[in-house]
Amino acid sequence: MMINIKNIKGTKDLLPNETINWRQIENIIHHFMEVHGYSEIRTPVFENTKLFHRGIGENTDIVSKEMYSWTDRGGDSLTLRPELTAPVVRSYIQHKMGKSRPLNRLYYIDSLFRRERPQKGRLRQFHQFGIEAIGSPFPEQDAEVITMAYKIYETFGIKDLSVRINSIGSPEIRTPYLKKLRDALTVKNINLCNTCQKRINKNALRLFDCKKISCQKILDNNAPLIFDFINKNDRLHFEKVVSILKQMQIPYKHDPKLVRGLDYYTHTTFEITSSELGAQDALCGGGRYDKLVENLGGDPTPAVGFAAGIERLFIALGKETNPHPPPGNIYFITLGEEATQKGFVISEKIREKHGLSVINETLQRSMKAQMREANRLKVQYVIILGDNEIKKDLAIVKNMDSGQQEEVSLKKLPNHFMIDSL
């Protein structure tokens, strides 16, 4: 029987013509983060399942439906990370980062796993870049995070962005608000979908995540909004955040229905969408999570951050592939066993001395075929070494732009390629 093994549904191979673009994007992200004073953190791909139950919330879609969890041979329940805020906070607490400085500005570029129904812009293994600023309770920190999210898309040249922002206030108002919400929606003649019926009792804030138009209509007509319940200080905080956004000329809209799908949020929530994306239109999302550090066992520490989907960034950029590999510097054409061996040794010296790219022949092809390969790779020089040249202790160096050829002694060859001449 033929074996036909393919990648798992919802995952994607990144082929060489795509990794070029990914690296470019990653380099821009690293640079952008560094000039804003953020340092990179990398956490393990899997964590103890408890971290996400406590961190994200048992009744969220992510935890109740979308996690890849399994029991390890040692009996522990482990989970492939479905997001990075909880792992970063776990690491922050574990390494006592709060002790060494009052504010930790961290960023990441990594892969995540959610068992969602795959479609355009929605995968089961996907990638995010994001930031977590842990330590400041002040509105300028929220404003910095939202401004960075907006500006990085500008850096990428993505226009047509829509920034929505809201405040869901302090955790203390949650219980009285949720009671009002439940009361408003458990009256006669209101027919929410089955999922929402369950949500009403378990976690009523999640009702706002429902995509069904009928449920949205019911909410529009009947549901009180959490923004109307937030206290004076929280309102002031919100107003200060948006006043900085105005100064920074970030076009935003206040969306009082924006509650976000993870339980850890407090106060500010925000999302940036693009009409380029279709149904899965969120480029990035985030907000403040002032209780998460404490809930995961650390000292009470305020924090705010966002995360952005990289696959969705590529959709918005409209270039998933780039047909031009970067040109190489030198192709080393060798004919015969002795030439091949010598070619390997000399190539290594050229790389070490000049940091140039030198590509060796390992297919024992004819001179003509190797020359064709050198043309395909668009190298600037080829070095030709065959039995005749070895006898004379030299190689032929051909400049592929001018077509000029010269003979260079094997001894001088490693020093022949000065960086300036390329």
Can you give the binding site for ligand HAM, defined by CB under 6 A? Answer: 83-85, 114, 116, 121-123, 126, 128, 130, 132, 262, 282-287, 289, 305-309, 311-312
Nearer to ligand HAM, 55 or 343 (CB): 55
Nearer to ligand HAM, 8 or 363 (CB): 8
Query: How far is the C-alpha of 88 from the C-alpha of 79, rounded, in Å?
Result: 15
Nearer to ligand HAM, 84 or 395 (CB): 84
Query: How far is the C-alpha of 250 from the C-alpha of 57, rounded, in Å?
Result: 31
Nearer to ligand HAM, 36 or 122 (CB): 122
Report the nearest approach of ligand HAM to the CB of residue 168 (Å): 13
Residue 334: strand pairing partners: 385
Q: What is the phi/psi pair of residue 312, to 5°?
A: -70, -35
When CB distances to ligand HAM are compared, the closest residue is 309
Report the nearest approach of ligand HAM to the CB of residue 284 (Å): 5
Report the nearest approach of ligand HAM to the CB of residue 393 (Å): 58
Nearer to ligand HAM, 84 or 192 (CB): 84
Report the nearest approach of ligand HAM to the CB of residue 201 (Å): 24
Q: Scan for tokens 């000329």, then name that residue.
A: 249
* Residue type, position 79, single letter: T
Query: How far is the C-alpha of 205 from the C-alpha of 53, rounded, in Å?
Result: 17
Report the nearest approach of ligand HAM to the CB of residue 218 (Å): 24
Residue 162: strand pairing partners: 273
Report the nearest approach of ligand HAM to the CB of residue 22 (Å): 14
Nearer to ligand HAM, 287 or 343 (CB): 287
- Tokens representing 128 are 């995010």
Nearer to ligand HAM, 84 or 296 (CB): 84
Q: What's the Cα-to-Cα distance from 101 to each of 33, 95, 238, rounded to whole Å?
A: 19, 12, 26
Query: How far is the C-alpha of 142 from the C-alpha of 289, rounded, in Å?
Result: 11
Q: Are 213 and 196 in contact (CB under 8 A)?
A: no
- Tokens representing 382 are 């080829």
Report the nearest approach of ligand HAM to the CB of residue 192 (Å): 23
Residue of 400, 398, 399, 394 whose CA lies nearest to 412: 394
Nearer to ligand HAM, 112 or 250 (CB): 112
Please, which residues have CB within 8 angstroms of residue 62's CB and are 6 or more apart in sequence? Answer: 52, 56, 82, 83, 114, 261, 262
Q: Are 290 and 137 in contact (CB under 8 A)?
A: yes
Report the nearest approach of ligand HAM to the CB of residue 286 (Å): 4
Please, which residues have CB within 8 angstroms of residue 183's CB and are 6 or more apart in sequence? Answer: none
* Residue type, position 121, single letter: G
